[in-house]
Amino acid sequence: MAEVDKEFKFIKKGKYDVSNKIFLDLVFNNNCNYSCPFCIARTNTYSEDNYDKWKSSFSKTIDIFGNEIDSLIILGGEATIDKRFFDRLSFIDEVTSGKHIFTILTTNGYKLQSDSFLDKVGNSSIDSFNISMMNHDPLKNKLLMGDTIDIDSLKRIYEVIKEYGKTLRLNTNVAKNNLNSLKEIEDYIRFFKGCQDAIKFTPLMETDMFDTVSGVLKYTKEKALSKEEIKVLFDSLARKYKSSKHNDKVFGLINYGEVDALGSHIILKYEQVEDMYDLGRVIPTLKLYPNGNLSNEWNHRKNILDDFSSNKVYEFKSR
């Protein structure tokens, strides 16, 4: 289910106001085999891998927030190159047994080109796949990502995913140097028609709030479109193809729209429409980092699990 369909409200839990539909980002690793110049995961701090603590923290997170977690979103780095990728999936299944939580894998798709790997994830509890494809022009896409899967590989991946009853969404950024006109967006939609269930267009964001490395910060400052430019661009698409849904209260502060255009289902993520929350008291989303820290922001050094008590003891040791 797309974000645009969700109705968010906040409930009191401890000292926090907690979303009733938390997206729990499970950050498997920091590493990636691509080199996107805008990646918000390339930060000035490095989250060391502590698998035992990660397992303990995930169990505690489900115990505390299980009723509020709407979706699990697996991220990296590039999660699929994590050496414990399938071990983590098995552990997630074990902890959430009896109350399956909709699970999404966000990936660059590289590992999915392997038939054996694709079959294994197809048989897993992952419900949906988000594949990053920045541009429909293969050369430009490679320039923006450092590498890319080709359209034939994407079609093959989509066919297999559909056989397993899963869905596939393409994710891309809109920026000064990528898909910055209605024509370019329409060309992208036409090119990828028939090899996805949805396409999500997201504005490239300036990354100062994510503590990214200087190169990423400089790149995003130079390439990000203004809120006004994004609104004009997305509104023109919505008007032309008669937007079917709109929700300006996702997490209470993000504006989403949906459009059916050129034979594809389109999700438009506008910029924030309000100021950010006071994250000292509000939990709109959660992120579990490789070091086992749980945070409500892109900062693995903050561990909000310290603010909650649980009667259970979670201790795990790697085999």
CA distances from 78 to 15, 39, 130 (A): 34, 11, 12
CA–CA dist 316, 56 (Å, integer): 6
The residues, ordered by sequence, that sit 6+ positions from 246 with a Cβ below 8 Å of its Cβ are 4, 238, 255, 256, 257, 258
pLDDT in the model for residue 313: 45
For strand 16-19 and strand 282-283, is the pairing parallel, antiparallel, or unpaired? parallel
Does residue 79 belong to any structural domain of this protein?
A: yes
CA distances from 201 to 35, 252, 267 (A): 20, 20, 6
pLDDT in the model for residue 310: 56
Does residue 282 belong to any structural domain of this protein?
A: yes
Q: Which of 190, 185, 300, 308 is nearest to 236 (CA)?
A: 185
End-to-end CA distance of the chain: give it in Å, rounded.
37
pLDDT in the model for residue 314: 45
pLDDT in the model for residue 249: 53
pLDDT in the model for residue 282: 82
CA–CA dist 8, 256 (Å, integer): 13
pLDDT tens for the chain, 319 residues: list them.
Answer: 455 556 678 888 888 888 888 899 999 998 899 989 888 777 767 678 999 999 999 999 999 999 999 999 999 999 999 999 999 999 999 999 888 899 999 999 999 999 999 999 999 999 999 999 999 999 999 999 998 899 999 999 999 999 999 999 999 999 999 999 999 999 999 999 999 999 999 999 887 767 778 888 899 999 999 989 999 999 999 999 986 665 555 445 557 788 899 999 999 988 654 555 676 788 888 999 999 999 988 767 789 998 886 555 444 444 4
Q: Which amino acid is at 239?
A: R
Does residue 167 belong to any structural domain of this protein?
A: yes
pLDDT in the model for residue 15: 87
Query: What range defines the domain where residue 181 resides?
Result: 3-306
Residues facing residue 132 across a β-bridge: 171
Does residue 318 belong to any structural domain of this protein?
A: no
Does residue 41 belong to any structural domain of this protein?
A: yes
Does residue 117 belong to any structural domain of this protein?
A: yes
pLDDT in the model for residue 99: 82
Does residue 312 belong to any structural domain of this protein?
A: no
Phi, psi of 66 (to 5 degrees): -55, -35
Does residue 316 belong to any structural domain of this protein?
A: no
Helical (H) or strand (E) element with 132: strand 128-132
Number of structural domains (the chain) is: 1
CATH assignment of the domain containing 300? 3.20.20.70
CB atoms within 10 A of CB 186: 16
Please check whether residue 127 is in contact with residue 161, taking contact to mean a CB–CB distance below 8 angstroms: no
Q: Which amino acid is at 314?
A: Y
Please check whether residue 135 is in contact with residue 188, taking contact to mean a CB–CB distance below 8 angstroms: yes
CA–CA dist 79, 175 (Å, integer): 25
The residues, ordered by sequence, that sit 6+ positions from 16 with a Cβ below 8 Å of its Cβ are 281, 282, 283, 304, 307
Please check whether residue 291 is in contact with residue 50, taking contact to mean a CB–CB distance below 8 angstroms: yes
Report the SS3 class of residue 8: coil
Report the SS3 class of residue 6: coil
Please check whether residue 18 is in contact with residue 11, taking contact to mean a CB–CB distance below 8 angstroms: yes
CA atoms within 13 A on the CB side of 143: 8
Whole-model pTM: value is 0.90
Please check whether residue 72 is in contact with residue 102, taking contact to mean a CB–CB distance below 8 angstroms: yes
pLDDT in the model for residue 319: 41
pLDDT in the model for residue 68: 92
